[in-house]
Amino acid sequence: MREDTKDIIIIGAGPIGLACGIEAKKKGLDHLIFDKGCLVNSLYRYPMNMTFFSTSEKLEIGEVPFISHNPKPTRSEALEYYRRVAKYWKLPLQLYEHIKTIDKSEGLFVVNTNKEIYKSNKIIVATGFYDFPYLLDVPGEELPKVFHYYKEAHPFFGMNVVVVGAANSAVDVALELYRKGAKSVTMIIREEEIGQNVKYWAKPDIDNRIKEGSIEAYFNSHIDEITKTEVRFTTPEGKKSIQNDFVLAMTGYRPNFTLLESLGVDFHDDEFQTPVFDPKSMQTKVEGVYLAGVVCGGLKTNKWFIENSRAHAEQIIEHIAIQQ
């Protein structure tokens, strides 16, 4: 166990976790920022050609300018930007260090990772939501042909691909696969239409591709079973099956509820499993445990973004600093 006690341990080295670290550094608070993966791990796992919905200035943290060559920044530009932020502020990062347990002993949080044991006065959870995909819960989902994350179109050239979902990620994937030479692209969608929140430049594109038959779409439908050679599914017209090489389940993701529950965080009795916290300080009902960023919305992962949750960092650190 490390002998020193940190003022704060921040869980999550995404943009909001980094913003919390920057504010802590401004206040002279001793802290560490942990992530089980790389810096801004969730952004790294985005598709290689992804373009953000927001403009670059809305993604800025720590008074470091984000200059993009495009009206909307790309994934590669964002990765470069947050690397620059981390270097500029000399943030104390503990990357590829997975937190196994957090206990409380004698008023301190004891954080046990795969490498070390640390002590801290406060905990900030800024884990986002991208680590735990919604599963289809159907036979065959465990087959190696099924993916819940998408990187690029090249591996699917000449293949019959099913894309599950109707939100931004599913639409982006379907369009890119179609344009990069997939043999066939079929969308299986539970809803009755493409999501209304799909990026304004992509929605007419996907609607037109479906209308002309370049991409086949089955609405109000769901997958029943995935086999090595087929996908079997139910539509309003009855059961169908199609030949298939790969399934890309772009069905969304959810927060790490297990971590929150282990910390004793309470949840509202609502459909989104929204964590209970003070909106002014961002502190939960567990003294010393704070939430920041997307995780604050529970299952409503479209409530908080980088641009509207950057302020959480200032709120939290200000509240902690007052108590010092």
Q: What is the pLDDT of residues 246-289, one digit of tens each?
A: 999 999 888 899 999 999 999 999 999 999 999 999 999 999 99
Same domain, 273 and 195: no
Same domain, 189 and 305: no
Give bridge partners of residue 234 from the DSSP assignment.
222, 239
Mean pLDDT rounded to a whole number for the chain: 95
Total structural domains in the chain?
2
For residue 45, the Cα-to-chain-centroid distance in whole angstroms is 9
CATH number at residue 169: 3.50.50.60
Give the single-character DSSP code of 74: B
The pLDDT of residue 254: 87
Same domain, 68 and 152: no
Q: Which helix (H) or strand (E) holds 171?
A: helix 168-179
Same domain, 210 and 265: no
Same domain, 148 and 66: no
- Please give the average per-residue pLDDT across 37-66, as a whole number: 93
Residue at a domain's end among 249, 281, 301? 249
- Range(s) of the domain holding residue 277: 5-132+253-323
Same domain, 257 and 269: yes
Residue at a domain's end among 249, 278, 311? 249
State the Cα–Cα distance between residues 254 and 58, nearest whole angstrom: 23
The pLDDT of residue 130: 82
Same domain, 317 and 229: no
- Please give the average per-residue pLDDT across 211-239, as a whole number: 98
Judged against a pLDDT cut of 80, whether residue 3 lies above it is answered with no
Least confident stretch, 31-40, 77-86, 125-134, 259-268: 125-134
Same domain, 86 and 178: no
Where do we find the tokens 């000399």? Answer: 90
Same domain, 116 and 139: no
Judged against a pLDDT cut of 80, whether residue 67 lies above it is answered with yes
Same domain, 122 and 257: yes
Which carries the bigger pLDDT value, residue 3 or residue 299? Answer: 299
Res. 2 pLDDT band, cuts 50 70 90: confident
Same domain, 122 and 147: no
Which of helix, strand or coil describes residue 89?
Answer: helix
pTM of whole model > 0.95? no
Res. 315 pLDDT band, cuts 50 70 90: very high
Residue at a domain's end among 205, 220, 249? 249
- Please give the average per-residue pLDDT across 196-225, as a whole number: 95
The pLDDT of residue 302: 81
Report how far apart, in Å, the C-alpha atoms of 298 and of each of 77, 98, 128, 259, 275 are: 28, 21, 10, 13, 6
The pLDDT of residue 90: 98
Same domain, 51 and 107: yes
The pLDDT of residue 49: 87
